Amino acid sequence: MPRAKSQSRESLLDNALNAFWKIGYHVISMGDLVRETGVSRAGIYADFGGKQDLFHASLDRYQETVVTPAFAPVEASGTGIDGIETYLCNLLTRFELAGGFGRGCLVGNTLTQIPEIDVETRAKLQAHCDRLTDGFRHALTNENGPRGPLTQPEIDDLARYTMISVQGLWSYSRLTNDATVLRAYSDTLIAVLKSRLRGSLQ
Amino acid sequence: MPRAKSQSRESLLDNALNAFWKIGYHVISMGDLVRETGVSRAGIYADFGGKQDLFHASLDRYQETVVTPAFAPVEASGTGIDGIETYLCNLLTRFELAGGFGRGCLVGNTLTQIPEIDVETRAKLQAHCDRLTDGFRHALTNENGPRGPLTQPEIDDLARYTMISVQGLWSYSRLTNDATVLRAYSDTLIAVLKSRLRGSLQ
DNA sequence: CTTGTTTAAGAATGATCGTTCTTCTACATC
DNA sequence: GATGTAGAAGAACGATCATTCTTAAACAAG
């Protein structure tokens, strides 16, 4: 009779996710993963098939257990710019509590490490960016209202602008331990969005 | 009598730099570097000491041969926002000519791959970010003029905002082959800077 | 031409990588 | 209690890593 694997599989995934996130796909070794997860090599291979498959599963797990709760304020129905503000503020608070030199975003970290040829991984990264863009578009559309100052193409541009800016924020968060710089960036970004939606830009 | 090594050394560095830039520090192997540079293993070790030293030399070379000419419009004396605009426009044109899926920024790529412990490399990355920030501060200060709408702390914040945004731009440029998205980001960023310096934000 | 020295090239090395395989334990079933 | 089986653990494997060492070629000096 097969034992209930779901619990340990999820725990394994969480540990692997954290290792990939902090150390990076290429730098982390299977030996490290065995040590970090407490699961034997054979167990990892039996459950996932290999390092790359474990990483892909970790990327999916990242979406479920990290992005979904963190991004919930943005994806909540009826939210506006305040949802984006809450999202950023929460993550910056987490950064401060961790004492700086954060892990950044697993997706942003990964896209600087994979070759152009790895289309399967790229698709997962693109899907993440699309999810962020969709969320921001949702919030900005609500904020704009039915007869707001911005047209739909302008909102699309602003949503992509927000997504790319957030990637820059998490990227730089790996280098600095100064939360005030990140807070200032977040504040300016929010101010830009508000300004745009007041129609006072251009 | 020692032969003039400077020429081949620089050529070696350029090839190594391109390999590190495109493939990444951990993924590229010494075998790859031997093939890419056309220099034997012993030659590389004799001239640089090892992989990490070659990488550090490549980071310095990146500053000299890539950042300095590309960033010149921003660092030019007397430049304003138009200098930032020229800088971004030039690099986006290069991206379009290359057909998308760019290499991003070597510094941005690296900072998602090095461990927290590698302070020597981190210092080089931080110096690059500081250089960008200083350049943007210089251009924004000029644009602001002696009695502009912004105070010096506000200009500092805006310079750091620009630097982090640019990191996000190059980060995302590794994932997309759609230059119009990057152009739209650049246009919005420039519009934000102009708006701020008109004093119409907040 | 011979000899001494420098330079480059690639074979050898120890370590470590991802992956596989064998072994041993523990439990269910009769 | 004996037997069969599923599961986990880590030893073993070939490949590849960064690095070093040996060797051969090329040039300068006598």
Residue B13 in contact with partner chain A when CB distance is under 8 A: no
- Dump pLDDT digits (tens) for A53-106: 999 999 999 999 999 999 999 999 999 999 999 999 999 999 999 887 789 999
The pLDDT, as a whole number, for residue A8 is: 66
Q: Which nucleotides of strand C come closer than 7 angstroms to any CB of the protein?
A: 6-11, 16-22, 28-29
Q: Is the pLDDT of residue A148 over 70?
A: yes
CATH class of segment(s) A60-198: mainly alpha
- Dump pLDDT digits (tens) for B108-146: 999 988 888 899 999 999 999 999 999 999 999 999 999
Q: What is the 3-state secondary structure (H, E, C) of chain A?
A: CCCCCHHHHHHHHHHHHHHHHHHCCCCCCHHHHHHHHCCCHHHHHHHHCCHHHHHHHHHHHHHHHHHHHHHHHHHCCCCCHHHHHHHHHHHHHHHHHHCCCCCCCHHHHHHCCCCCCCHHHHHHHHHHHHHHHHHHHHHHHHHHCCCCCCCHHHHHHHHHHHHHHHHHHHHHHCCCCCHHHHHHHHHHHHHHHHHHHCCCCC
Residue A23 in contact with partner chain B when CB distance is under 8 A: yes
Q: Which residues of A touch B126 (CB under 8 A)?
A: 175
Residue A171 in contact with partner chain B when CB distance is under 8 A: yes
> Phi-psi bin for A105: left (phi > 0), alpha (psi -120 to 50), beta?
beta
Amino acid at A121: T
Mean pLDDT by 10 residues, chain B (202 residues): 47 90 93 88 89 95 97 97 98 91 93 88 97 98 93 97 98 95 98 86 44
Query: What torsion, rounded to 10 degrees, do the Cα atoms B105, B108, B112, B118 define?
Result: 110
Residue B183 buriedness (CB in 10 A; 0-12 / 13-18 / 19+): middle
CA diameter of chain B: 67
Residue nearest to nucleotide C22 (CA to C1'): A42
The full DSSP string for B48-97 is HSSHHHHHHHHHHHHIIIIIHHHHHHHHSTT--HHHHHHHHHHHHHHHHH
Q: Which residues of A touch B200 (CB under 8 A)?
A: 195, 200-201
C-alpha to C-alpha distance for A60 and A106, rounded to whole angstroms: 11
Q: Is the pLDDT of residue A6 over 70?
A: no
Q: Are A156 and A164 in contact (CB under 8 A)?
A: no
Reported confidence tier of residue A3, pLDDT bands at 50, 70, 90: very low
Q: Are B111 and A175 in contact (CB under 8 A)?
A: yes
Q: Are B93 and B70 in contact (CB under 8 A)?
A: no
Q: Are A54 and A44 in contact (CB under 8 A)?
A: yes
Query: Å between A37 CA and C23 C1'?
Result: 23
User: From the list A104, A191, A201, which residue is nearest B191 (CB)?
Assistant: A201
Residue A65 in contact with partner chain B when CB distance is under 8 A: no
Q: Which among B20, B22, B26, B167 is the top mutation candidate for probing chain A, defined by the most A β-carbons within 10 Å of its own β-carbon?
A: B167
The pLDDT, as a whole number, for residue A144 is: 96
CA diameter of chain A: 67
Token pair of B109 as six digits: 């790529």
Amino acid at B16: A
C-alpha to C-alpha distance for B161 and A109, rounded to whole angstroms: 20
In terms of CA atoms, which chain A residue is nearest residue B184? A157
Q: Which among B88, B121, B129, B172 is the top mutation candidate for probing chain A, defined by the most A β-carbons within 10 Å of its own β-carbon?
A: B172
Continuous segment of H or E residues that includes residue B130:
helix B119-144
Q: Which residues of A touch B157 (CB under 8 A)?
A: 184, 188
Q: Are A169 and B168 in contact (CB under 8 A)?
A: yes
CB contact under 8 A, A113 and B24: yes
Which residue shows structure tokens 């939606």? A197
Q: Are B105 and B170 in contact (CB under 8 A)?
A: yes
Grouping H, G, I as helix, E, B as strand and the rest as coil, residue B113 is coil
Q: Where are the domains of chain A?
A: 60-198
